[in-house]
Amino acid sequence: MTRNVLILGATSAIARGVAMAFASLGDNLYLASRDLDELQRIASDLRVRYDISVHTGLFDANKPETHTAFFQQVVGTMGNLDGIALAFGLMGDQISAREFDVAEKIIMSNYTGAVSILGLSANYLEARKAGFIIGITSVAGDRGRQSNYVYGSAKGALSLYLQGLRNRLYPVNVRVLTIKPGFVDTAMTFGLPGMFLVASPATIGKKIVESLNKSADVIYLPFFWRYIMLIIKHIPEFIFKRLKL
Amino acid sequence: MPTLTKSISGWGRYPAHTCELSRPERYADLKADQPSIIARGQGRSYGDASLNEHGHVLLTERINRMLELDIKQGIIKAEAGVTLAEILSVCVKHGWFLPVTPGTRFASLGGCVAADVHGKNHHHDGSFGKHVLGMEMLLADGRRIQCSASENSELFWATVGGMGLTGIIGTVTLKLIPIATSQIQVQHRAAGNLQALFELLNDPDLDDHYSVAWIDCMAKGHKLGRGVAMFGHHASVDEYRAALPLTHHVKSVRNLPFDFPGWLLNPLSINLFNQAYFWNEGRKTDAFLTSYESYFYPLDAIGQWNRMYGKRGFLQYQCVLPETQALSGMTRLLQAISASRNASFLAVLKRLGESSLGMLSFPMPGFTLALDLPLHDQQALFTLLDRLDQITLEHGGRVYLAKDAHLSAENFRLMYPRYADWLKIKQQFDPANVFNSSLARRLHIGEQP
Ligand SMILES: Cc1cc2nc3c(=O)[nH]c(=O)nc-3n(C[C@H](O)[C@H](O)[C@H](O)COP(=O)(O)OP(=O)(O)OC[C@H]3O[C@@H](n4cnc5c(N)ncnc54)[C@H](O)[C@@H]3O)c2cc1C
Ligand SMILES: NC(=O)c1ccc[n+]([C@@H]2O[C@H](COP(=O)([O-])OP(=O)(O)OC[C@H]3O[C@@H](n4cnc5c(N)ncnc54)[C@H](OP(=O)(O)O)[C@@H]3O)[C@@H](O)[C@H]2O)c1
């Protein structure tokens, strides 16, 4: 059965991997972010490769006042929606994030904006009693580290929010998946020091879409990050606070 | 945009240069905002064409969207970073094929234009640039400009074969050719020496859409240049009556997991391989069908086969000699190679047709020889290469820049007489010589006439 899927932050490399994976199954897509020109190129590519229907539209996570109209427009264009995949996010620079206005933008772009648009999505799917929400958070949200705790705290908050949403939507048959990627080879990580075991965004995208057919709710990608984070989470705080992470 | 400083090399793994890399993900970020920059597609050129020592290298691999496919006319428009493999994955099923293809499908579209690559059909259809209907370029001054054989044609023909030195190729519109099946009908003929091999390739009764010959570089004396000529064309439906004529087969690629030790490829093992290959392939005189992948891209089946030559890497020598000089010149080249201790594993002979309008394009009517030379003893190899360049020059030929890592600036000028014309266009569109590469500096391209 063909699904209609909205992808938020669709210009991200991981999102493109997700879009490719949905498209290869014949699903129809609505791609949204702040860069319409780029979205249209990605959309053309998906049409050429997979012969599916793809729409594009402007979406800014940091303008929650526009989200209701945006969501209505997506539903209007697609007819109905079966799923929402949220990929937008902003790593930002931890040093400049010591200033509140920078930190606030990171929090908005990873968390507040997500709460706004996922709230609308949840209400919509709850009424339809079917569908799915995929939220891409990060392993960075599992434990606060000096190198990226503003980003990490926003991702951690998003993970908790998704957990609550899953609990709320379980009775109405709406799946909520929490995706926690480790290091993925994208614009966000290119050239950053300290990267290891970097995964390709195409592979991650495929795994994300495949997760819909599996039972797990919280998915680390690639899988071994579950164990890495298990160890990291269990380092006692009195040791952890001394580490340079 | 974030950058990464790293040592990189071309397909031959020689030379390796430290370059500053960036990798735009958005088309708007594909621009020349550095004082010294070169584009790099899939790094399938062998030498230093896609390197820029201590300068900037712009990776195009993520700028790989296919924008339009007209399945009625057979026209595709795509961003330059897309690979030929990706194009094939969408067009073969609609009955279209690349008009020209190099021996690897993992080259990028931009790389194929920049090197004006040739295929096994060059003697009929010319090189890649001839089939490009138009492209969008990103210039040194930040302009985006359309060019084709009729619009900004000087820039177009300076860029086709221009090795990335005129600007960044952003998108390319390419005319495809129709096919009825995804299979190739092939026929082999063995020849006991070089002259016999030339006769096979020149025989109009045997000639086909595609032709190529493999040469046993180890054979000496009266067997010098013995080899197998391989002719082929896209099979018609009649020739291929099986169930699914337009399936697109992709065999999974298996990577060579480690560098072979340098001694593994020695004259004895290569000789054994060549003997076996000659007898096996030479016997296939009856026409047979094979997939387009195994016909055009036999080496692609082994990912990273370049690791076969060990850590030190290898060089590829490819030259073309004009028709009348080809037999005598190739004989001397093969003699020089078999006399040296640099055993070659792969040697390929192709017929080339009309020259391209590309000012720095490689092909000219005649024959081209390409062979791998492992880098065991650098000094001995460079002496041999100097010798080969000399023979090539004496016979009015030239060396292919996409394969080269050794040619001198002086010999380059002798081999590429249209360089002076090219330089005028280069200076017009890139007066500050922003587009620069290790190859360009080695050959003093862009600086002086
Ligand atoms: C196994 C094998 C077989 C081959 N067979 C053939 C053959 O049969 N015939 C043939 O002609 N060649 C052949 N080649 C060579 C290969 O086709 C060319 O070197 C081609 O240029 C490789 O494309 P690439 O994307 O890897 O380019 P790269 O190696 O990354 O770059 C090659 C050149 O193209 C330029 N370039 C790349 N992208 C752009 C862009 N977007 N804008 C501007 N400049 C750009 C670079 O600056 C560089 O000068 C073969 C190579 C291999 C490995
Ligand atoms: N790369 C990794 O290693 C990694 C690891 C763990 C988690 N993640 C997460 O995975 C997701 C995708 O990451 P990526 O690496 O592919 O990142 P990316 O290339 O930096 O992409 C981030 C995307 O978010 C969009 N975005 C940012 N702010 C936005 C806003 N205000 N409104 C709408 N869209 C906005 C951007 O789109 P526009 O600019 O077009 O609007 C951009 O496409 C992110 O949530 C990231 O946090 C990544």
For residues B238 and B113, state if they share a domain: no
Reported as a pLDDT band with limits 50, 70 and 90, residue B283 is confident
For residues B298 and B402, state if they share a domain: yes
Amino acid identity at A165: L
For residues B136 and B191, state if they share a domain: no
- B321 secondary structure, DSSP code: E
Roughly how many angstroms between the first and final C-alpha of chain B, as a whole number?
Answer: 35
Q: How far is the CA of B358 from the centre of ligand 1 (A)?
A: 15
pLDDT at residue A86 greater than cutoff 80: yes
Q: Is A11 in Cβ contact with B28 (below 8 Å)?
A: no
Write the CATH number for B296.
3.30.70.2520
Q: Is A48 in Cβ contact with B67 (below 8 Å)?
A: yes
Write the CATH number for B91.
3.30.465.10
Reported as a pLDDT band with limits 50, 70 and 90, residue B245 is very low
- Inter-axis angle of helices B323-339 and B378-394, nearest 10: 160
- A111 secondary structure, DSSP code: I
User: How many structural domains is chain B composed of?
Assistant: 2
Q: Is residue B100 part of a domain?
A: yes
Interface list for chain B against chain A, based on CB atoms closer than 8 Å: 2-4, 21-23, 25-28, 62, 65-69, 76, 79, 86, 89-90
Integer angstrom CA distances of residue B109 from A135, B43, B63, B249: 35, 12, 11, 21
pLDDT at B251: 52
Contact, A60 vs A36, CB < 8 A? no
For residues B87 and B190, state if they share a domain: no
Say whether the peptide bond before residue B267 is cis (omega within 30 degrees of 0).
no
Q: Which residue of B has its CA nearest to A191?
A: B4
- Tell me how crowded residue B64 is: count the other CB atoms within 10 A of its CB: 18
Q: How far is the CA of B183 from the centre of ligand 2 (A)?
A: 43
For residues B135 and B187, state if they share a domain: no
Q: Which residue of A has its CA nearest to B71?
A: A48
* Minimum-distance ligand 1 atom for the alpha carbon of B38: 47
Q: Which of A74, A51, A92, A104 is nearest to A192 (CA)?
A: A92
For residues B162 and B262, state if they share a domain: no
pLDDT at residue B243 greater than cutoff 50: no
Q: How far is the CA of A14 from the centre of ligand 2 (A)?
A: 8
pLDDT at A94: 85
ipTM, 2 dp? 0.94
Reported as a pLDDT band with limits 50, 70 and 90, residue B286 is confident
For residues B240 and B373, state if they share a domain: yes
Q: Which of B219, B217, B213, B210 is nearest to B189 (CA)?
A: B213
- Shortest alpha-carbon distance between residue B79 and chain A (Å): 9
- What residues of chain A lie within 8 A of the CB of B28, using their CB? 35, 37-38
- What residues of chain B lie within 8 A of the CB of A48, using their CB? 66-69, 76, 90
For residues B261 and B370, state if they share a domain: yes
pLDDT at residue A208 greater than cutoff 60: yes
For residues B195 and B282, state if they share a domain: yes
Mean pLDDT of A223-241: 95
Q: Which of B179, B207, B230 is the last residue of a domain?
A: B179
Q: Is residue B349 part of a domain?
A: yes
Range of the domain at B210: 183-408
Q: Is A38 in Cβ contact with B67 (below 8 Å)?
A: no
Letter string b/e over residues B284-320, b meaning 16 or more CB atoms within 10 A of that residue's CB: beeeeebbbbebbbeebeeeebbbbbbeebbbbbbbb
- What residues of chain B lie within 8 A of the CB of A190, using their CB? 2, 4, 22-23
Reported as a pLDDT band with limits 50, 70 and 90, residue B130 is very high
pLDDT at residue B250 greater than cutoff 80: no
pLDDT at residue A75 greater than cutoff 70: yes
Q: Which of B176, B169, B183 is nearest to B358 (CA)?
A: B169
Q: Is residue B46 part of a domain?
A: no
For residues B191 and B156, state if they share a domain: no
pLDDT at A160: 98
